[in-house]
A and B are shown apart, each in its own frame.
Chain A
Amino acid sequence: RKEVEQDPGPFNVPEGATVAFNCTYSNSASQSFFWYRQDCRKEPKLLMSVYSSGNEDGRFTAQLNRASQYISLLIRDSKLSDSATYLCVVPATGGGNKLTFGTGTQLKVEL
């Protein structure tokens, strides 16, 4: 099993739609998780951190299911500007700064 797995997409959705991405992770000891956003040919930028069962920031909601070892990201009322690749990220346990990234899920929001 890969350390972090995501559906690569692409997800093509109309403006205003609600879209959800799932991510599974293999290390049951992982305590914190991140969603990063990466625009085409740009660097990844932190979108949300998830430390407990979930986190909400405006139109974005992240949920964590430790029993099933998956994290989800929900985007409500999609905007054209939400078009990007969304990376599920699991930090190293036990020390160090290593981040393990999924392959990313590509989202295209269309008129």
Chain B
Amino acid sequence: DAGVTQSPTHLIKTRGQHVTLRCSPISGHKSVSWYQQVLGQGPQFIFQYYEKEERGRGNFPDRFSARQFPNYSSELNVNALLLGDSALYLCASSLGYRAGDYEQYFGPGTRLTVT
């Protein structure tokens, strides 16, 4: 069975540019969450989408946005990139809505470098 897939694997952008990251959840999973992991830190929650609706948002600026499509895949968009946005962006999928009830499976991540 295919796991969570993310594209691209690596990306290099310059300050001020825009980036779109993509995630396909495990088949049958309706919840997708996005996390940012900077070097030396644990992942930080950005968004959760469940059944195509935003169900949670972390402490990130409005430059970060996301959406979920009818097939439950998701996109994370970041505008006006800053050097500090350089990080590993992880997508996690799960069957249900509540974090304590369902295991979340992480994709391999997209490594974004902003120069």
Q: Which residues of B contact A93 (CB under 8 A)?
A: 100
Provide the bound-state CA to CA distance between A97 and B55, in Å: 8
Contact of B104 among A8, A31, A42, A97 (CB under 8 A): A97
Chain A positions 19-36 with a Cβ under 8 Å from a chain B Cβ = 31-32
Number of interface residues of A (CB under 8 A): 26
Supply 5 A–B pairs (Cβ within 8 Å), ascending by A: A45-B106, A91-B100, A98-B99, A99-B104, A104-B41
Size range of the interface on B? 20 to 34
B33 is an interface residue with CB less than 8 A from chain A: yes
A43 is an interface residue with CB less than 8 A from chain B: yes
Provide the bound-state CA to CA distance between A43 and B103, in Å: 14
CB nearest neighbor in A for B44: A101
Q: Which residues of B contact A41 (CB under 8 A)?
A: 88, 111
Provide the bound-state CA to CA distance between A41 and B99, in Å: 24
